[in-house]
A and B are shown apart, each in its own frame.
Chain A
Amino acid sequence: KAGVTQTPRYLIKTRGQQVTLSCSPISGHRSVSWYQQTPGQGLQFLFEYFSETQRNKGNFPGRFSGRQFSNSRSEMNVSTLELGDSALYLCASSLGVGANNEQFFGPGTRLTVL
């Protein structure tokens, strides 16, 4: 069974631009979560989608948005990029939601904002 895939793996953008990251979950997984990882802040939760609905959202500005499609694939979008958005963006999928659902992570997209 294929793991979680994320595209692109690396991205360089300039301030003010927008970016869209894609995540394909493990087949059969219906929950997709997104995280931002930086050296200073560690792993921070962005949002979680289940059956095309956003279930949870972290403390990020509205410039960060996401969606999930009927095939469970998910995208996240960051508009008006800032230097501080440079980070590793990780996507994780799980079969369902709830405390006993372990998440399986993709390799991440490393975003650099110049």
Chain B
Amino acid sequence: AQKITQTQPGMFVQEKEAVTLDCTYDTSDQSYGLFWYKQPSSGEMIFLIYQGSYDEQNATEGRYSLNFQKARKSANLVISASQLGDSAMYFCAMREVGRDDKIIFGKGTRLHILP
């Protein structure tokens, strides 16, 4: 069963607008971590933001924030005031706690920022 679902294969957004990238996850664990990564065309994966399952506040890092809705098992990434350099592939990932705690990635969303 797919554990991380990113339903938007691609998105086009006007520069300076805010954008929300969707991510839903499936786990029976109470303790887990959620991550977002950005992958520009160069190929390198860049860590953006982390949310722990027990964190009560939504994580924020500069223009990035994570809209964490635990009951809905949703961890959407919000990018405020988008920039041309935000054009990239974005991956949502989850890591459970326990013996099988490998990180699982979603299929990704390709974001295009239009000038």
Stretch at the interface among B10-18, B63-71, B80-88, B101-109: B101-109
Q: Which residues of A contact B35 (CB under 8 A)?
A: 102-103
Instruction: Tally the A-B contacts, defined by beta carbons under 8 Å.
Output: 60
Q: Are B52 and A90 in contact (CB under 8 A)?
A: no
* Total A residues in contact with B, Cβ cutoff 8 Å: 24
> Within the complex, which residue of B100, B103, B106 is in contact with A33, where a contact is CB–CB below 8 Å?
B103
Does A25 belong to the interface (CB within 8 Å)?
Answer: no
Does B25 belong to the interface (CB within 8 Å)?
Answer: no
Q: Which residues of B contact A92 (CB under 8 A)?
A: 45
Q: Which residues of A contact B53 (CB under 8 A)?
A: 99
Q: Are B45 and A45 in contact (CB under 8 A)?
A: no
Q: Are B47 and A56 in contact (CB under 8 A)?
A: no
Q: Which residues of A contact B97 (CB under 8 A)?
A: 98-99
> Within the complex, which residue of A43, A90, A99 is in contact with B101, where a contact is CB–CB below 8 Å?
A99
CB neighbors of B among A52-79 (8 A): 56, 58
Q: Which residues of A contact B101 (CB under 8 A)?
A: 56, 97-99
- Listed by A's residue number, 9 A-B pairs whose Cβ atoms lie within 8 Å are A33-B103, A42-B106, A45-B104, A92-B45, A99-B96, A99-B101, A101-B33, A102-B35, A107-B44
Instruction: Enumerate chain A interface residues (CB-CB to B < 8 A).
Output: 33, 35, 42-43, 45, 48, 56, 58, 88, 90, 92, 97-108, 110
